[in-house]
């Protein structure tokens, strides 16, 4: 079965349409530091507004413990959404209480309201199906249809993602439609050569992706903290760098499997070693087989890929027709250890084909390093959801919309 899209809902003029978006944006002292996920929802919201729907946008933000918590309020999101849409956006101070009901009742055709953080209600993430369903029924009473557009949560069986889609006529919004289309292209008949670039701290976070994409990719590039487990599997000493010793045998298996399948596994040839985990730490470049031969000895800590590796990776990326990147190459938040991640981002903007930035830290990195979204083929809004999709897992929030992996 194919994913149900907006067309399947027919005319929504005058209808109350709940949009389950993903407004889980980073906040610092109540100020949004990256509004990428809000902007990602605009095509769907504008489409509904232009149709004359009465839009009720909802989302989670952070991990409040099933109760109201001012620091996780969606009030700043409603304000930013109003600015981006160029129209007033009402804000309800609760999820399904008097404020939400009043805000919805006051909507006219083409109006938008945002209700408070869904996770302020324990029913949203409850393990008990009955609790989730009870909350979903309260949400369903606010609307006539559901447009599911929060890709970052489709791998979760939560009330607003799953049970609500059972209770109301439901369809995927433009964002989910695009995410599924792009990620499907990464697993089914990608244009070749196909390079997968993996970074981030842990190999264990990427096991499923490596396993699923190894037979499909032409090149796999490994950087970030996880590279040290690969280097250790090759017999190199890595000092105090991130190392998952319990994954060394698994990684050796991947190295062998890549060789058997003719997949080019490209590992770092150098790294930036530092005296400690600090922005102002002393640091030097060391060859991959000599990471402890620095002034820091066995106390050195690898915090970025080295310049030679960055060049090799960039060349491999530019020479590919399809590239998927998930996970930074180093501690990009610290300027001294951001060069590797920046080199990868730059190379992705030069791909003659499809370049996809996995969500989470990778998306945050490209924006923090000054790259505009439109320089990439696609920036995914879902870190965990993207990875699970690429692992071939069934995602409940997509299955309930008719998608079959």
24 is in an annotated binding site: yes
Of the residues 360, 377, 383, 397, which is catalytic? 360
* Residues in CB range of 148: below 8 A, 6 or more apart: 20, 154, 161, 165, 170, 171, 172, 173, 176, 397, 401
Beta carbons of 404 and 1 less than 8 angstroms apart: yes
22 is in an annotated binding site: yes
Active site residue 202: yes
62 is in an annotated binding site: yes
Beta carbons of 164 and 65 less than 8 angstroms apart: no
DSSP3 helix / strand / coil % (the chain, rounded to 5) = 40, 15, 40
52 is in an annotated binding site: no
Which of the 8 DSSP states describes residue 4? P
37 is in an annotated binding site: yes
Active site residue 360: yes
Of the residues 37, 132, 219, 342, which is catalytic? 37
97 is in an annotated binding site: no
- How far apart CA 277 and CA 168 sit, in angstroms, is 50
- How far apart CA 48 and CA 64 sit, in angstroms, is 30
174 is in an annotated binding site: no
- How far apart CA 55 and CA 44 sit, in angstroms, is 10
For residue 45, give the nearest of 78, 2, 93, 94 by alpha carbon.
Answer: 78
333 is in an annotated binding site: yes
Chain center to CA of 308? 28
204 is in an annotated binding site: no
Of the residues 202, 252, 311, 318, which is catalytic? 202
- How far apart CA 288 and CA 242 sit, in angstroms, is 14
- How far apart CA 52 and CA 54 sit, in angstroms, is 7
361 is in an annotated binding site: yes
Beta carbons of 337 and 330 less than 8 angstroms apart: yes
94 is in an annotated binding site: no
Size of the chain, expressed as the number of residues it contains: 405
For residue 216, count CB atoms less than 10 angstroms from its CB and return exposed for 0-12, middle for 13-18, buried for 19 or more: middle
Strands 354-357 and 322-326: parallel
Q: Can you list the positions of beta strands (E) in 116-190?
A: 145-148, 170-172
163 is in an annotated binding site: no
340 is in an annotated binding site: no
For residue 167, give the nearest of 133, 211, 216, 122 by alpha carbon.
Answer: 133
Active site residue 178: no
Of the residues 319, 384, 393, 402, which is catalytic? 384
Active site residue 39: no
The annotation places the binding site for substrate at 22-24, 37, 60-63, 119, 156
The annotation places the binding site for ATP at 206, 302, 333, 359-362
The annotation places the binding site for (2R)-3-phosphoglycerate at 37, 119, 156
The residues carrying an active-site annotation are 37, 202, 360, 384
The annotation places the binding site at 22-24, 37, 60-63, 119, 156, 206, 302, 333, 359-362
């Amino acid at each position: 079965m194919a994913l149900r899209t907006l067309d399947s809902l027919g005319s929504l003029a005058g209808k109350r349409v709940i949009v389950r978006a993903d407004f889980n944006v980073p906040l610092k002292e109540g100020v949004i530091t990256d509004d990428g996920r809000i902007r990602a929802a605009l095509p769907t919201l504008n489409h509904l507004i232009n149709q004359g729907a009465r839009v009720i946008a909802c989302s989670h933000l952070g991990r409040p413990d099933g109760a109201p918590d001012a620091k996780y309020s969606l009030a700043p999101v409603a304000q930013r959404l109003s600015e981006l849409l160029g129209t007033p956006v009402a804000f309800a101070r609760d999820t399904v209480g008097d404020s939400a009901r009043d805000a919805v009742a006051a909507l006219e055709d083409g109006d938008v309201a945002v209700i408070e953080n869904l996770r302020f209600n324990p029913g949203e993430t409850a393990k008990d199906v009955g609790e989730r369903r009870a909350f979903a029924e309260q949400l369903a009473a606010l609307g006539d249809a559901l447009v599911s557009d929060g890709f970052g949560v489709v791998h979760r069986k939560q009330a607003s993602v799953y049970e609500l889609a059972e209770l109301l006529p439901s369809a995927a919004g433009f964002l989910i439609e695009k995410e599924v289309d792009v990620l499907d292209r990464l697993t089914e008949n990608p244009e070749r050569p196909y390079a997968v670039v993996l970074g981030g701290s842990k190999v264990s976070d990427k096991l499923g992706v490596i396993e699923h994409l190894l037979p499909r990719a032409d090149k796999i590039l490994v950087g970030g903290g996880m590279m040290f487990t690969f280097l250790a599997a090759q017999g190199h000493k890595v000092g105090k760098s991130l190392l998952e010793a319990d994954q060394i045998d698994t990684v050796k298996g991947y190295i062998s499997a890549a060789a058997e399948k003719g997949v080019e596994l490209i590992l770092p040839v150098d790294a930036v070693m530092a005296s400690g985990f600090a922005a102002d730490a002393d640091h030097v470049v060391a060859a991959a087989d000599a990471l402890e031969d620095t002034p820091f000895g066995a106390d050195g800590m690898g915090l970025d890929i080295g310049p030679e590796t960055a060049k090799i990776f960039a060349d491999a990326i530019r020479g590919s027709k399809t590239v998927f990147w998930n996970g930074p190459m180093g501690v990009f938040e610290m300027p001294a250890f951001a060069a590797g991640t920046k080199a990868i981002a730059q190379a992705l903007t030069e791909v003659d084909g499809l370049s996809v930035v996995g969500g989470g830290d990778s998306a945050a990195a490209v924006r923090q390093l000054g790259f505009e979204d439109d320089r990439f083929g696609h920036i995914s809004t879902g870190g965990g959801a993207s990875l699970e999709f690429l692992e071939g897992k069934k995602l409940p929030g997509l299955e309930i919309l008719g998608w079959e992996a």
